[in-house]
Amino acid sequence: MSDEKKPVITEFTKGLIKENPTLVTLLGMCPTLAVTTQASNGIGMGLATTFVLICTNTVISALKKVIPGAVRLPSFIVIIASFVTFIEFIMKRSMPDLYDALGLYLSLITVNCIILGRAEAFASRNSVLRSALDGAGNGLGFTLALFIMGSIREIFGAGSWMGIQFGIETPVSIFIMPAGGFFVLGIVIAVVNKLAKKKPPKELHCAGCPNEELCEKYRCDKEAKAS
Amino acid sequence: MNGLTVAPSPHRSTKLSTSMIMLNVVIALLPSAVAGTVIFGARAALVLLVCIASCVIFEALTRKLMKKEQTISDLSAVVTGLLLGMNLPSSIPIWMAVIGSFVAIVIVKQLFGGIGQNFANPAIVGRIVMMLSFTAFMSSWPVPFWYKLGADVVTGATPLAAGAGSISYIDLFLGNCGGCIGEVCSIALLAGGLYLMAARIISPAAPAAFIGTVALMTLITGGDVLFQILSGGLFLGAFFMATDYATTPLTNKGKVIFGIGCGLITFVIRNYGNYPEGVSFSILIMNLLTPYIDRLTQLTPLGAKKPAAKEA
């Protein structure tokens, strides 16, 4: 159980930078690298994921007493897939261009590990309000990361931003290739770490690990210490 | 860099320091650089100088920014710059050459810890990033001696793109053909490579295996052996890039495996791939495999018992 005394709003703000799902916990790498060739695709993908994340976190938190522990993962996936199908239909109808640009990756939101991770680590242990805020924070953090990466890759790799052409004749096209995606991701992570003044741990141990709440070993150690 | 530097065993006293090795490599590259300048004119020399200068400046700046000891005096940045410049066509826009130098020195070399720590050859990655980013500029080559023709820069295909039989062997050997600045004059590269082997700077294992594999595969498939060996960047890659200390295997056995791998990949890309030339890609791929080759070919110290083979 996470600390219920923390102000509710921190559940929202922590996902933006401090525990940013893409840049700090490194979840959801597949869409991060695949759809960020344009800034607008990054925003579209991020907002679609945010919507799914808020809905699934809310529903799973509300149903946490109903879902038996042994079948919780299949149940989570069914709930997530329902919302993904829902947003897919909406986007196909109202934003066909974005729907085509995202292609397969839209359906793959179902297996995005940010969503399953938040469901397992947070929503299934916390209240509905906190879970919804956690989903919104993580979703917007994901959107922010995708938008930054998409902007860098689009500006350097295609000489445009949000579809506005700058008239550059020879863009550095490696930025929109997969290799360039990895370069940009690494550098953005490095900059975020620098800004967050996070130093690499001298020894690898559980404290400070962003995945600590997921980790059985850490929980056991903590309980052993408390008793 | 003063004082006693202890290198891996055998601990013999030697005058051979990093800067001496690098100086020798520069000397060995000079004939080919001069030949490139003669063939492609002053513009080629400008590209080479810009690459060297920007590599040294980037190295100095990043070391200063990271608050680490300056390493420009070991000349490794000069070698990287020279190699990168020799891997570019002489008509490349200058700012692109600067970007290539940035990738080579800052991203590939310094971010991974500087000399000796880089996982891949900086000049190779610089060239590949430029090749993928500015494909049109990187694959248009001025014809040799265009400046004597009295016209604007005339571009032509490299012999590899044009195919065997488009050029005589003697032109290939002397460098009277289109290509990157430093790759066209095979005789100068051969002289530089032999000098390095004679000075015991590089071992002949990797270059011999590399060139030999390409020759053998061409022979088996019925291609033009001499043409495949002399054209493209094979000599430049085999002598000067497949022998880099930090990114190739340590043992002779490992070097041979490295060379054979390079040769096979080069052959496959040249004959079945999308690009006319595969030397740089093959060296990069084998660079990445080097730690595994090193582990496979670890030597047993003299007198030590061989580790018991694991039961299958």
Task: Report the distance separating Cα B32 and Cα B27, nearest Å.
Answer: 10
Give the pLDDT confidence score for residue B40 in this predicted structure.
84
Q: How many Å lie between the alpha carbon of A152 and the closest alpha carbon of chain B?
A: 15
pLDDT at A191 over 70: yes
Q: How many CB atoms lie within 10 A of CB B51?
A: 30
Which of these, B243, B245, B239, B25, lies nearest to B116 by C-alpha position? B245
Q: At what angle do helices B18-40 and B76-86 cross, to 10 degrees?
A: 20
In this complex, the residue of B93, B132, B137 whose CB is nearest that of residue A174 is: B132
Contact between residue A99 and residue A45 where contact means Cβ atoms under 8 Å apart: no
In this complex, the residue of B93, B133, B137 whose CB is nearest that of residue A174 is: B133
Contact between residue A152 and residue A184 where contact means Cβ atoms under 8 Å apart: yes
pLDDT at B273 over 80: no
Name residue A34's amino acid: A
The residue of chain B with its CA nearest to that of A170 is B134
Contact between residue B122 and residue B105 where contact means Cβ atoms under 8 Å apart: yes
A173 chain-B contacts, CB cut-off 8 A: 132-135
Which of these, B224, B243, B239, B100, lies nearest to B168 by C-alpha position? B224
B132 chain-A contacts, CB cut-off 8 A: 173-174, 177, 179
Domains observed in chain B: 18-149+158-296 (1.10.3430)
The residue of chain B with its CA nearest to that of A175 is B133
ipTM for the complex shown: 0.71
Which of these, B108, B119, B123, B1, lies nearest to B62 by C-alpha position? B108
Q: How many CB atoms lie within 10 A of CB A51?
A: 19
Contact between residue B231 and residue B159 where contact means Cβ atoms under 8 Å apart: yes
Provide the pLDDT confidence category of residue B261 given band limits of 50, 70 and 90: very high
The residue of chain A with its CA nearest to that of B107 is A183
Q: What is the dihedral of CA A50, A52, A56, A58, to 10 degrees?
A: 50
Give the pLDDT confidence score for residue B51 in this predicted structure.
92
The mean pLDDT value for B1-8 works out to 56
Provide the pLDDT confidence category of residue B1 given band limits of 50, 70 and 90: very low
pLDDT at A62 over 70: yes
The mean pLDDT value for B176-192 works out to 83
- Do the strands A164-165 and A160-161 form a parallel or antiparallel pair, or are they unpaired? antiparallel
Provide the pLDDT confidence category of residue A216 given band limits of 50, 70 and 90: low
Q: Residue A127, by phi and psi: left (phi above 0), alpha (psi -120 to 50) or beta?
A: beta
The residue that leads in pLDDT, A4 or A164, is A164
Give the pLDDT confidence score for residue A199 in this predicted structure.
60
The residue of chain B with its CA nearest to that of A157 is B133
pLDDT at B80 over 70: yes
Angle at A184 between CA B54 and CA A21, to 5 degrees: 150
Q: How many CB pairs under 8 A join A and B?
A: 18
* Chain center to CA of B65: 28
Q: Which of B96, B133, B284 would best serve as a mutation to test chain A binding (most A beta carbons within 10 A)?
A: B133
Give the pLDDT confidence score for residue B235 in this predicted structure.
87
Q: Do A173 and B132 touch (CB under 8 A)?
A: yes
The residue that leads in pLDDT, A113 or B158, is A113
In this complex, the residue of B107, B132, B134 whose CB is nearest that of residue A177 is: B132
Q: Do A174 and B129 touch (CB under 8 A)?
A: yes
Where exactly are the structural domains of chain A? 9-196, 202-227
Strands (E), chain A: 160-161, 164-165
Instruction: Please report the residues numbered 127 through 146 in chain B whose beta carbons come closer than 8 angstroms to any beta carbon of chain A.
Output: 129, 132-135, 137
What mean pLDDT is reported for chain A? Answer: 81
pLDDT at A126 over 70: yes
Is A160 in a helix, a strand, or coil? strand
Say yes or no: A170 contacts chain B, CB-CB below 8 A: yes
Task: Report the distance separating Cα B261 and Cα A205, nearest Å.
Answer: 40
Contact between residue B52 and residue B98 where contact means Cβ atoms under 8 Å apart: no
In this complex, the residue of B93, B99, B107 whose CB is nearest that of residue A172 is: B99
pLDDT at B174 over 80: no
Say yes or no: A177 contacts chain B, CB-CB below 8 A: yes
Q: Do B135 and A174 touch (CB under 8 A)?
A: no
Name residue A50's amino acid: T
